């Protein structure tokens, strides 16, 4: 569908649809994903296209990409906040929790910085991505240990508790049905 070789009557791919497909191919480590990304970048050189390319590339399932993006999230003030926010889910793609678990602790430690430097709604996106992208008991323990030890503003503690509830349920369900 991206190349135009296949068309579904009545279905038109909007630019974001196209980028979401590219993102999924990258996240699934499709052997043609990099070439498809390059084609889509040429096809959509708009400002939104650049933002969506940034989002899609965050889904690369390799440690070097994850390190680069995470460092940029915390240390590159020139990267627009909406680019960072839209890429958080890609960075924490559902099948990459082993790659992203090492960033859970640093993401939690960065909460005061995130609260200070980002817009009010960004915090929930940050927490949903980094906690919500995990499914393991190790991640659950890390979050609860952080809650037990960290001196947090009440609003941050409540947001973490809200988000970790889904991780708690996921771990419980996985333990029961494995």
CA distance 99 to 175: 21
Inter-residue contact 65 to 96 (CB < 8 Å): no
* Residue 153 resides in a domain: yes
Is the Cα dihedral 123, 126, 129, 134 positive or negative?
Answer: negative
pLDDT for the residue 3: 87
Phi, psi of 16, deg, nearest 5: -65, -35
**Among the listed residues 167, 121, 117, the one whose alpha carbon sits nearest the alpha carbon of residue 141:** 167
Q: At what angle do helices 15-27 and 47-57 cross, to 10 degrees?
A: 20
Separation between Cα atoms, residue 44 and residue 48, nearest integer Å = 8
In a domain, 124, yes or no: yes
pLDDT in tens, the chain (178 residues): 888 888 899 998 999 999 999 999 999 999 999 999 999 999 999 999 999 999 999 999 999 999 999 999 999 999 999 999 999 999 999 999 999 999 999 999 999 999 999 998 999 999 999 999 999 999 999 999 999 999 999 999 999 999 999 999 999 999 999 8
Would you give the DSSP letter of residue 120?
A: T
**Angstrom distance (rounded) from CA 96 to CA 59:** 9
On whether residue 136 sits in a domain, the answer given is yes
- Number of independent structural domains in the chain: 1
Q: Which pair of tokens denotes residue 86?
A: 């839209």
Q: Is residue 48 part of a domain?
A: no
pLDDT in tens, 93-105: 999 999 999 999 9
Residue-level pLDDT at 122: 96
What pLDDT is stored for residue 2 in this prediction?
87
Specify if 141 maps to a domain.
yes
Q: H or E element: which one contains 100? A: helix 97-109
Asked if residue 35 is part of any domain, the answer here is no
- As given in the structure block, the two tokens for residue 23 are 């993102």
Q: What is the value of pTM for the model shown?
A: 0.93
Domain that residue 138 falls in: 66-75+95-177
C-alpha distances in Å from residue 41, one per residue of 9, 20, 38, 44: 25, 13, 5, 5
């Amino acid at each position: 569908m991206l190349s135009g070789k296949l068309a579904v009557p009545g279905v038109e791919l909007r630019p974001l649809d196209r980028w979401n497909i590219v993102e999924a191919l990258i996240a699934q480590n499709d052997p043609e994903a990099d070439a498809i990304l390059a084609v889509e970048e040429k096809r959509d050189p708009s400002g939104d296209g650049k933002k969506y390319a940034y989002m899609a590339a965050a889904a690369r399932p390799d440690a070097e990409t994850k390190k680069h993006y995470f460092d940029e999230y915390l240390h590159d003030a020139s990267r627009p906040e909406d680019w960072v926010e839209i890429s958080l889910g890609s960075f924490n793609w559902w099948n990459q929790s082993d790659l992203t678990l090492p960033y859970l602790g640093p993401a939690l430690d960065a909460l005061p910085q995130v609260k200070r430097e980002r817009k009010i709604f960004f915090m929930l996106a940050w927490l949903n991505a980094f906690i919500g992208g995990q499914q393991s008991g190790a991640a659950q323990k890390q979050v609860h240990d952080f809650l037990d030890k960290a001196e947090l503003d009440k609003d941050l503690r409540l947001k973490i508790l809200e988000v970790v509830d889904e991780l708690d349920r996921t771990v419980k369900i996985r333990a029961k049905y494995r």
